[in-house]
Amino acid sequence: MLDSTAIKIEGICKAYKDTLALQDINLSIRQGEIFGLIGPDGAGKTSLFRILTTLTLADKGRASVNGRDVVEDMADIRRTIGYMPGHFALYQDLSVEENLNFYATVFGTTVEANYATIKDIYCQIEKFKDRRARDLSGGMKQKLALCCALVHKPEVLFLDEPTTGVDAVSRREFWAMLARIKESGVTIMVSTPYMDEARLCDRIGLILGGRIIDKGTPEEIISRYPDRLYAVRDENMFRILAALRPVEGVLRCSSFGCECHLALAEGGPSGEEILSVLSAAGIEGCSIEKIRPGIEDCFIRLS
């Protein structure tokens, strides 16, 4: 029986001087899935990606990509993966077409030979093929970088925060492209600080302070959320936070855009009692409703 594991990470640790970037990371990523590594800046996402793409060595532990060890089989791994780093790493003075041809040549192939692999993405920027990379918009740079990462038909695709700083429309288009790439059998590991993108992955790992604090499908992680959760809405979020955080039985009280998410302990106040607390603080006209947690609520609880 063939092993269905595309990426295996066992006890990976990494430190930079006195700073622990990764602490005992253990993950198993299946072939043909989109796996999301979800966490804020500084959580250790890029450090892990650099180890898996053979750009740096772990201090401890082992990792393999499609059965190839990231240390012993470094050259083989580099030929069979695509990597899109968190910053735009293409040549700014080269045109779209020149960048693409260059990366195809590096991998010993041509754009023509693998055009079917990138066609759906490249057709969106092909009319700008003579434009220099530095003059592209954020969304077009993103598409060009993805084309360059795919031009040699990689088995595994590593995308380190590919949608950071990109507008909402381009983010949606990008994830639609990833879904199509996945259908071709490519395994995708993507990191992001955006909690809403977690729901677009098959499975995810939540990372904070160099540790995996939970992993599973988005639904599995949400199903483990143990507390009653309410959304409180008012025009002045700061006065709601100030009024509710000291209340006994309030576990967490966090701002989520135009509403406050309120996690209550078992036996804690009811929704009606929360409204009474707010009324006593001179806050009238609020609305409150019980809600289902999202990935961000789970992350806040775990952190």
pLDDT tens for residues 112-142? 999 988 998 999 999 999 999 999 998 899 9
> Under a CB-based contact definition with an 8 Å cutoff, are residues 222 and 291 in contact?
no
> Given pLDDT bands bounded at 50, 70 and 90, which one contains residue 86?
confident
Mean pLDDT of 155-167: 91
pLDDT for res 153: 93
Does residue 277 contact residue 264 with C-beta atoms inside 8 Å? no
The answer on pLDDT for 282 being more than 50 is yes
Quote the CA–CA distance of 156 and 77 in Å, as a whole number: 9
Q: How far apart are CA 42 and CA 289, in angstroms?
A: 34
Res. 285 pLDDT band, cuts 50 70 90: confident
Q: How many CB atoms lie within 10 A of CB 227?
A: 16
pLDDT of residue 301: 95
Is the pLDDT score of 2 beyond 80? no
Residues 6+ apart with CB under 8 A from 27: 7, 8, 9, 35, 205, 212, 215
Closest by CA position to 86, among listed 117, 122, 55: 55
The reported pLDDT for the residue numbered 3 is: 60
Rounded average pLDDT over 209-222: 97
Cα separation, 178 vs 191, whole angstroms: 13
What's the pLDDT band for 235 if we cut at 50, 70, 90?
confident
| Cα four-point dihedral sign 74, 78, 84, 90 | positive
127 vs 49: CA distance, rounded Å: 32
Q: Which of 65-74, 148-157, 230-239 has the lowest mean pLDDT?
A: 230-239
For the segment 167-193, the average pLDDT, to the nearest whole number, is: 92
pLDDT for 264 equals 95
Residues of the chain with CATH 3.40.50.300: 5-219
Strands 228-233 and 156-160: unpaired
Mean predicted confidence (pLDDT) in 40-51? 96
Q: Looking at the chain, which residues constitute the CATH 3.30.70.100 domain(s)?
A: 225-302
Q: Show the tokens assigned to 241.
A: 């936070």
**CATH code matching the domain that covers 5-219, chosen among 3.40.50.300, 3.40.50.1820, 1.10.4080.10, 3.40.190.80:** 3.40.50.300
Model confidence at 294, in pLDDT bands (50, 70, 90)?
Answer: very high
pLDDT value for 41: 92
Whole-number pLDDT of residue 88? 86
Mean pLDDT of 192-212: 96
Per-residue pLDDT at 1 exceeds 60: no
Report domain 225-302's class. Answer: alpha beta
Mean pLDDT of 185-213: 96
Q: State what percent of residues in the chain have pLDDT above 70.
A: 99
| Tokens 């740096």 found at | 56
pLDDT at 167 over 90: no
Strands 187-192 and 34-38: parallel
Task: Name which residue leads in pLDDT, 72 or 169.
Answer: 72
